[in-house]
Amino acid sequence: MKSVDQLAKKAMGLRPTERIRLVEAILYSLDKPDPEIEKSWIAESEARYKAYKRGELEAIDWEEIRKRYER
């Protein structure tokens, strides 16, 4: 953990824009898309859209959805 603390201390010495770029780089490294999952999501969204166009799937208004989940 000492090295993490040292890195954090060095990062705090950076200009705000440089710190933002550093954070973005770190977050991006943790969130690499999985090509197989991406393909699955694309196939699912296309299937749902086709079902909607055929009248097999009903669309719900965004305002209705938002009201359901408001706190």
- Has residue 1 got a pLDDT over 90? no
User: For residue range 10-61, what is the model confidence (pLDDT) as tens digits?
Assistant: 999 999 999 999 999 999 889 888 899 999 999 999 999 999 999 999 999 9
CA-CA distance, 8 to 42, in Å (whole number)?
39
Beta carbons of 42 and 49 less than 8 angstroms apart:
no
Burial per residue of 22-37, b for 16 or more beta-carbon CB atoms within 10 angstroms, e otherwise: eeeeeeeeeeeeeeee
Domain spans of the chain? 1-32, 33-71
Residue 71 — very low, low, confident or very high, per pLDDT cuts 50/70/90? confident
Q: How many CB atoms lie within 10 A of CB 44?
A: 10
Whether this prediction's pTM lies above 0.75 is answered by no
Q: Which amino acid is at 38?
A: E
